[in-house]
Structure 1
Amino acid sequence: MIRLNEITKTYTVGKKAVPALHGISLTVAQGEIFGVIGHSGAGKSTLIRCINLLERPTTGKVHVDGVELSALSDKQLQEERRKIGMIFQHFNLLSSATVAKNVAFPLELAGVPKEAIGQRVKELLELVGLEEHASKYPAQLSGGQKQRVGIARALANNPKVLLCDEATSALDPQTTNSILALLSDINRKLGLTIMLITHEMHVIRTICDKVAVIDGGRIVEEGPVTEVFLKPQHATTREFVEQVSDSQELKEAIRHGKASGQHRIVRITYLGETTYEPVLYEVTRQTGTPFAILQGTISRMKDTPYGQLTVQFGGSEADVARTLDSLKDRGFDVEVL
């Protein structure tokens, strides 16, 4: 649905060329929720704005739904942009217009008949749970409600793609979760392709199918969320994973273990329904290996349950080795820390 081929973007500041993106290539499949995560200044906002050509790439090609946007005239591009909805961090609502008028605005620009606009606005407000707020103004709404209006407005023209530019960054955690649940529901109901950028790993873990990590205007890691989250390869990715995993106490335990020459602190990762099975207990009972759990997580990445245990094993080296081999034989990922 979205294909970026060697996208670069360079700004001119005074007489100096300032590169923002360096040869980025990405493919987002139809119906997928694809996340791009990066620190401030990494280039993620520039990247997402290049998709609908709010920022025109310096070089490279942008394809959306089989159409090369970067080759279109301004008039043709305006038509194709109706297939691409976009929501923003700070909502960008018309303060002097009601909720219903804000949602109707893109339909009015497209010349949709008044009767059809009224019906479509009603459908969209029901979809985002704001049917009772149609006559209110943005100033009368909470942050989460404003973003729901933004989502309804972005869906007005039945787009095939929804771009989310830090859509939850201005919201509290509870409201963030409700907006993520709404986006996930819209993705399922409408088969909509969603691409979002964020600096929060929680957002990626909650709703994304795939993720790309951007650093210094380059994609440094990419893949299914389960692989990237559970087996981070790049230093930037590991930083983001630590937002929702490693505690300071665990880091201290690992440092202490290394300093004392004990390499028996192990991270065990498992996916799917085995998450809820007592595998560690069964294996250690068979091998007679004592253990202490330093940290444990059972959660979900979108629809996939996963577990991660950080365990310190006691006993002999031979017993520990047999335990780790047995866990690996059962399909668990085992990493000695």
Structure 2
Amino acid sequence: MIQLQNLHKEYRAGKHSIPALTGINMNIEKGEIFGVIGHSGAGKSTLIRCINLLERPTSGKVIVDGVDLTSLDARSLQEQRRYMGMIFQHFNLLSSATVAENVAFPLELAKRPKVEIRRKVNELLALVGLEAHQDKYPAQLSGGQKQRVGIARALANDPKVLLCDEATSALDPQTTNSILTLLLDINKKLHITIVLITHEMHVIRSICDRVGVIDGGKIVEMGKVADVFLKPQHSTTREFIEQVADFADLQEAVVREKSAEQRTIVRITFLGEQTYQPILFQTMKETDVPFSILQGTISRMKDTPYGQLVAELEGDESRVENAVKMLRLHGLDVEVIEWAG
């Protein structure tokens, strides 16, 4: 659905050029939710604005549904943008227009018939749960309600792509979860491709299929959320994982147990249905290796359950090695943090 090919973006500051994006290559599949995560200033907002050419790349191609946007004239580009909705961090609503009028605005610009506009507005307000608020003004709405209006407005022209520019960062955690649930529901009902940028790993973990990690204007890691989340390769990725992983005191646990003899500390990752199976207990019983759990968490990534445990295994090295081997044969990912001795 979306292809970014060797994308570069530079800004001019007098005689100097400041690189914002460098060599971005990315393929986003039709119907998936793709997340881009990065720190402030990493280039993520520039990246998403390059997709609909609100920011024109210095070089490279942006291809959406087979159309090279970078080759279009202004009129043709404007026509293609109708098929790409966008929602913003600060909502960007018309303060003097009602909820219904805000949603109707892009349809009026497209010169749709009034009967069609009214039908579409009612349909979208029902989709985002704001039927009872159609005559209110933005100042009368909560932050979450304003974002729902923004989502409805972005969907007005039946876009193929929905771009979300920090859509939840101005919201409290409970409201953020409700907006993420709504976006997931929209993705499933309308089969729309969603690209969202964020600095919150919770957002990526909750609804995304794949993720790209951006740092210094470059994509430093990309893949399925489960792979990136459970086996981060880049230091920036690991920083974001720490936002949601309950292992802040891991180093303390390692230091505390390091002096003990005949003990090994491992991190065990469960994914899918194995998360709820007693694999650890059964394996340790079969191999006669006593264990204790130092830390652990069970959660979900979109629709997939996962768990991570930090456990202390007792016994000599050969017995522990056998236990680790058995765990891996059961399909678990086992990382040895500290071997005995």
TM, length-normalised to structure 1: 0.98
Inter-partner Cα distance in structure 2 for 1:239 and 1:49: 25
Inter-partner Cα distance in structure 2 for 1:76 and 1:254: 60
SS in 2 for 1:176: helix
Structure 1, residues 177-231: CA drift from partner, whole Å, max 9, x if none? 0000000000000000000000000000000000000000000000000000000
Match of 1:89 in 2: 89
Unmatched tracts of structure 2, length 5 or more = none
Residue pair 2:269, 2:333 contacting (<8 A) in 1 also: yes
Match of 2:79 in 1: 79
Inter-partner Cα distance in structure 2 for 1:261 and 1:80: 66
Quote how far apart the aligned CAs of 1:259 are.
6.9
Match of 1:123 in 2: 123
Quote how far apart the aligned CAs of 1:264 are.
1.5
Structure 1, residues 29-57: CA drift from partner, whole Å, max 9, x if none? 00000000000000000000000000000
CA pair 42-102 structure 1, distance change in 2 beyond 3 A:
same
Match of 1:239 in 2: 239
Structure 1, residues 88-134: CA drift from partner, whole Å, max 9, x if none? 00000001100000000000011111111011000000000000000
Inter-partner Cα distance in structure 2 for 1:306 and 1:166: 26
User: Does residue 200 in structure 1 map to residue 200 in structure 2?
Assistant: yes
Match of 2:226 in 1: 226
Unmatched tracts of structure 1, length 5 or more = none
Report the residue type matching 1:312 in the other structure: E
Match of 2:21 in 1: 21
SS in 1 for 2:299: strand
How many corresponding residue pairs? Answer: 337
Match of 2:6 in 1: 6
Structure 2 counterparts to residues 114-263 of structure 1, below 5 A: 114-257=114-257
Quote how far apart the aligned CAs of 1:312 are.
1.2
RMSD: 1.2
TM, length-normalised to structure 2: 0.97
Q: Using the TM superposition, name which of 250-259 and 3-12 deviates more.
A: 250-259
Inter-partner Cα distance in structure 2 for 1:119 and 1:17: 49
CA pair 144-262 structure 1, distance change in 2 beyond 3 A:
farther
Residue pair 2:262, 2:317 contacting (<8 A) in 1 also: no
Report the residue type matching 1:194 in the other structure: I
Inter-partner Cα distance in structure 2 for 1:94 and 1:261: 67
Residue pair 2:246, 2:296 contacting (<8 A) in 1 also: no
Structure 1, residues 2-38: CA drift from partner, whole Å, max 9, x if none? 0000000000012211000001010000000000000
Residue pair 2:242, 2:248 contacting (<8 A) in 1 also: no
Match of 2:105 in 1: 105
Inter-partner Cα distance in structure 2 for 1:96 and 1:169: 24
Inter-partner Cα distance in structure 2 for 1:185 and 1:154: 15
Report the residue type matching 2:95 in the other structure: S
The alignment-based identity, stated in percent, is 69
Residue pair 1:7, 1:21 contacting (<8 A) in 2 also: yes
Structure 1, residues 215-263: CA drift from partner, whole Å, max 9, x if none? 0000000000000000000000011011111433222112444577877
Residue pair 2:230, 2:269 contacting (<8 A) in 1 also: yes
Structure 2 counterparts to residues 251-290 of structure 1, below 5 A: 251-257=251-257, 264-290=264-290
SS in 1 for 2:181: helix
Report the residue type matching 1:274 in the other structure: Q
Inter-partner Cα distance in structure 1 for 2:84 and 2:255: 49
Inter-partner Cα distance in structure 2 for 1:56 and 1:156: 24
CA pair 217-140 structure 1, distance change in 2 beyond 3 A:
same
Inter-partner Cα distance in structure 1 for 2:333 and 2:200: 25
